[in-house]
């Protein structure tokens, strides 16, 4: 992989070396990275483009890749100004040579956000422009090169993948009405590349309308858009489960490129106890479990989530749950313990890390835990933002010995593995 400095020199000289030979930079290339969304389907207060993958935000992965193909001054990020702090954190660790222009505020729709980005580039008069979604961090040099190459004879080019599944069209009551031949069907990806003047004119012409992608604007004008080969690594991250697929890509890329940022693994453990008090249920690992008693505590006394929170805080050297949420602070009285666990998980992400796996053991005679462990695993995975197969919840007894054996309360212990970037 060339260094940043060598790539910049080649761009300045008018050409860069690619895996397919030399692409001569006879055209000025602009880039719009759309990062203004709130990521509602992702289900997290932090928009997905600012989540960390392999020690770098999704947005950061995109910026670094496109900066290898154009001058950083032509790389325009479109964002939500309400996320300024998140944006600043996302670009803090990028190489100083990037020297990005200030981000531009997005609009109410993606189409309006793209138009804002294009207008931001207009003063620099790029010949062509690549429009990319920040939720696609797996973009590769090869895909970018294919899109750029296809723009030599065409006004528009997009990367696509053939549809592999059989496609059914349904009608009333969800009954299949027909099978659609898949041979001519393709899944569209980004970056979508265009002649700059053509796509700017199209966006301005259809301003206020909302189409599914930028290529659709040229289709409405009768202008041909050609498809080039995409890659599965470039699929969009929409939901939390998509992070598992993206992490596989990061792990593979890191192995193939040892110069990339490496990770170190940390282990943390936790232990907690809560006594029983009069009640009719316990909250354990975020799940309401019927019982003839409740657990006593300042919050909801979820002994499972408390011990896992301590384990995560221990892995990153961040103290314990009592330091972050003091029992003396009345705002936490009766609070749901998922607040505590989410806080610990956010601290890991803020450090550029990820939670690899978590294992919780609940120690009690009663209530019976086994029937509830699937729901508990799902709840913990949801709070942590990881796949459910990275979470384990199990139970054991002390053979009627000790306070748990006398059914005076429940104890729990947890172990967690966290990966943090080596800085």
Average pLDDT score over residue span 348-374: 92
Given 199, 226, 256, which residue is the final one in a domain? 256
| Same-domain status, 358 and 373 | yes
Q: Does the reported pTM lie above 0.85? A: no
Between 252 and 156, the more confident residue is: 156
Lowest mean pLDDT among 5-14, 70-79, 191-200, 212-221: 5-14
Cβ–Cβ under 8 Å, residues 31 and 191? yes
| Same-domain status, 151 and 210 | yes
Average pLDDT score over residue span 316-321: 94
Lowest mean pLDDT among 31-45, 324-338, 401-415: 31-45
Given 209, 238, 256, which residue is the final one in a domain? 256
The string of pLDDT tens digits covering residues 299-311 is: 999 999 999 999 9
Closest CA to 138 of 217, 14, 24, 53: 53
Lowest mean pLDDT among 36-50, 94-108, 177-191, 346-360: 36-50
pLDDT higher than threshold 60 for residue 283: yes
Structure tokens at 259: 């110069």
Q: Which domain holds residue 148?
A: 4-256
What pLDDT, on a 0 to 100 scale, did the predictor assign at position 146?
94
Lowest mean pLDDT among 13-27, 237-251, 285-299: 13-27
What pLDDT, on a 0 to 100 scale, did the predictor assign at position 254?
53
| Same-domain status, 309 and 176 | no
When divided into structural domains, the chain yields a total of 2
Number of C-beta neighbours around residue 416 at 10 A: 30
What pLDDT, on a 0 to 100 scale, did the predictor assign at position 2?
41
């Amino acid at each position: 992989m060339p260094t940043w400095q060598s790539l910049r020199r080649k761009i300045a000289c008018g050409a860069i070396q690619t895996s397919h030979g030399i692409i001569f930079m006879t055209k000025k290339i602009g880039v719009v990275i759309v990062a203004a969304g709130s990521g509602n389907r992702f289900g997290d207060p932090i928009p997905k483009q600012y989540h960390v993958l392999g020690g770098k935000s999704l947005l950061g992965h995109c910026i670094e890749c496109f900066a290898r193909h154009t001058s950083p001054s032509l790389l325009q990020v479109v964002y939500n100004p309400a996320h300024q702090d998140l944006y600043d954190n996302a670009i803090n660790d990028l190489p100083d040579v990037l020297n990005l222009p200030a981000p531009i505020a997005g609009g109410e729709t993606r189409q309006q956000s793209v138009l804002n980005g294009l207008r931001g580039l207009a003063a620099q008069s790029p010949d062509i422009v690549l429009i990319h979604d920040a939720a696609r961090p797996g973009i590769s040099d090869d895909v970018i090169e294919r899109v750029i190459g296809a723009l030599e004879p065409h006004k528009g080019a997009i990367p696509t993948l053939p549809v592999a599944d059989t496609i059914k069209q349904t009608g009333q009551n969800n009954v299949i009405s027909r099978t659609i031949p898949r041979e001519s069907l393709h899944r569209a990806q980004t970056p979508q590349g265009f002649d700059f003047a053509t796509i700017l004119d199209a966006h301005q012409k259809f301003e206020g309308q909302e189409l599914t992608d930028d290529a659709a604007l040229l289709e409405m004008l009768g202008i041909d858009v050609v498809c080039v080969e995409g890659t599965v690594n470039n699929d969009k991250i929409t939901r939390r489960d998509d992070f598992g697929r993206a992490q596989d890509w990061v792990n593979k890329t890191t192995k193939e490129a040892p110069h990339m940022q490496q990770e170190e693994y940390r282990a943390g453990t936790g232990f907690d106890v809560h006594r029983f008090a009069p009640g009719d249920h316990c909250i354990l690992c975020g799940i309401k479990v019927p019982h003839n008693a409740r657990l006593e505590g300042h919050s909801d006394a979820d002994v499972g989530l408390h011990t896992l929170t301590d384990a995560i805080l221990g892995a990153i050297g961040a103290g314990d749950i009592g330091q972050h949420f003091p029992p003396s602070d009345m705002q936490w009285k009766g609070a749901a313990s998922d607040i505590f666990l989410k806080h610990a998980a956010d601290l890991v992400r803020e450090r550029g890390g990820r939670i690899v796996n978590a294992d919780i053991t609940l120690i009690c005679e009663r209530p019976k835990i086994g029937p509830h462990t699937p729901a508990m695993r799902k709840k913990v995975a949801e709070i942590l933002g990881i796949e459910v197969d990275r979470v384990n919840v199990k139970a054991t007894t002390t053979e009627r010995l000790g306070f748990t054996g006398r059914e005076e309360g429940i104890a729990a212990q947890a172990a967690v593995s966290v990966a943090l970037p080596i800085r």
